[in-house]
Chains A and B, each alone.
Chain A
Amino acid sequence: MKCLRLLALLLVVSLAPPAFAQGTAPNPDSAPNPTAESVNEEMLFKQESKIGGRITIPDERAQYLIQPQGRDWRQFHETYLPWIAGAAIILMLIALVMFYMLVGPAKSEFKPTGQRIVRFRGIERFTHWITAVSFILLGLTGLNYFFGKRLIAPLIGPVAFGDFSQYAKYAHNFFAWPFTLGVLMMVFFWVRDNIPSRGDWAWLKAGGGLVGNRHISAGRFNAGQKIVFWGVVLGGTLMFISGLILLFPFEWVDVNGMQLTNVVHGLIGSLFVAGILAHIYIGTIGMEGDFEAMVEGTVDLGWARQHHDRWAEEVAGTARRDDPPAPPPAGARQRI
């Protein structure tokens, strides 16, 4: 009886299909082979985008066996990014040269009043130039990460270019900090005068008066300058956040996060450089009097009335109490 029960039990066990033996090669004696059932690459890639597992070393990054996304990032970094950055910068340069040749610089035909008013205090000029110098160095050393090997390395050889790039990398990492400080100070000093106001739309609709040399009513900063300001604040913030993640690798994100961060940093940075080229054009040869304002800090009251009439009124209004009143030049807009 006992013997019979044991036999029945054995029969049940042998008939129950073992869960792990499905679809595997049988042993020569047609018994299932448990070791033949195993994970494989193709199956795992259907479930997840990268293959990982358990490791016995402390380096967590080593847990990923295969991450094919590396090839996608390579495609972006070596094909799309150089083309996008190159196209953005070259098209911007072409556009600026064409604009300069066809339209020319905006002239300032004001009658000098002889009265100088402060446009940018020393600390404001310091803020602008610390940001400007840092930006130029960051832009050049940043572009070196993907244009250097194509443009500079063939000229100076791989070893010299390696040494140069080492210092360029240190410079890129270091100048991120004065740049960030500069952007923060800009927000502190200038955000009040950069809040969009009612006159901005009219200024934009008239194209800032750049074509035809007209002067559109504006406050301390016109709508174009406000766009540059908010562009720098937004771009600077994105560059700072993505740059910080890249500067502290794997502190907050995994390898795919690092790739994505690098994509954001490279794309925004390239567009930032192209955009600032337009700012440099207007600030130097594109607009008379602008460069002077940021170097010396003062402008002629006549220039101010022509370019930033509402601001000039504000300043002159307070100045009039101490100084002898200057006759308002003809053509200056009066707003009450």
Chain B
Amino acid sequence: MARMKFLCDADRCIECNACVTACKNEHEVPWGINRRRVVTINDGKPGERSVSMACMHCTDAPCAAVCPVNCFYTTADAVVLHSKDICIGCGYCFYACPFGAPQYPKVGNFGSRGKMDKCTYCTGGPEVDLSLAEYEKYGSNRLAEGKLPLCAEMCSTKALLAGDGDMIATIYKERVTKRGYGSGAWGWRTAYRETVAM
């Protein structure tokens, strides 16, 4: 089985936000929820870089560890998913997540956050694959159709890479070798306790 990861090549990302829009559309994500976002670092200064970020599907995921009701599980592809039927909307996963991935549909005051929502790596949830119940709660399940996450698939500059970790690391390494520079695999050290060796 593959070990699925995301890698954003910040030297290619042009902050077009198409990944954000594609994600919202593909999964019919409600207003106010961003499963994916683009953060621009050093905006307007030399060396500015934009990074597209969503759930990194961490190894030994902090969200899963702190969840008081154990609603998280990891698939055979190493994708971190959760059950909205068990989630109590306590907000702990947001405190633990290094990437700000968990989102809540309600404002949150008086503990009424609603069920947590986050990037599923286009893998749906615990319901039957490609069922209506799964789509309504978690969005589409592209992996079950043999496709990779839409955000990476439609990235115009191929900055955002999704797929088996070793494979996307190889692609990134080739790019860095060819062009002679690279700002690194953002978030990998925090998410996977390793980075792409150059």
Contact = CB atoms under 8 A, between A and B. Distances in A.
Contacts of A144: 68
Interface string B91-114: 110111111100000001111010
B110 A247 contact: yes
Nearest to B20: A57
B47 interface: yes
Interface string A10-31: 0000000001100011100000
B85 interface: yes
Nearest to B68: A145
B42 A78 contact: no
Given A38-B49, A39-B183, A41-B184, A65 B71 contact: no
Nearest to A172: B111
Interface string B45-69: 0111111010000000010011111
Given A56-B38, A78-B65, A162-B86, A68 B183 contact: no
A40 B186 CA distance: 8
A144 B70 CA distance: 12
Contact of B181 (A19, A24, A78, A170): A24
B58 to A, nearest CB: 9
Contacts of A41: 183-184, 186-187, 189
A149 B86 CA distance: 12
Contact of B47 (A20, A172, A262): A20
A173 interface: yes
Contact of A67 (B50, B87, B98): B98
A148 B43 CA distance: 45
A119 to B, nearest CB: 38
Contact of A53 (B32, B40, B87, B96): B40
Interface in B1-57: 10-11, 17, 20, 32, 34, 37-43, 46-51, 53
A255 B183 contact: no
Interface string A151-172: 0010000110110011001101
Contacts of B85: 159, 162
A172 B88 CA distance: 13
B41 A71 contact: no
A324 B172 CA distance: 97
Contact of B95 (A36, A51, A262): A262
Contacts of A161: 69, 86
A293 to B, nearest CB: 37
A62 B37 contact: yes
B88 A67 contact: no
A68 B42 contact: no
A138 interface: no
A25 B42 contact: no
A59 interface: yes
Contact of B111 (A25, A66, A158, A169): A169
A35 interface: yes
B190 A68 contact: yes
A149 B62 contact: no
B94 to A, nearest CB: 7
Nearest to A65: B39
A36 B181 CA distance: 6
A44 B183 CA distance: 11
19 contacts: A25-B179, A35-B181, A38-B10, A55-B38, A59-B32, A61-B94, A61-B100, A65-B53, A65-B187, A66-B99, A70-B95, A158-B70, A158-B71, A161-B69, A162-B83, A162-B86, A172-B111, A248-B109, A249-B108
Interface of B: 10-11, 17, 20, 32, 34, 37-43, 46-51, 53, 62, 65-71, 83, 85-92, 94-100, 108-111, 113, 179-181, 183-184, 186-187, 189-190
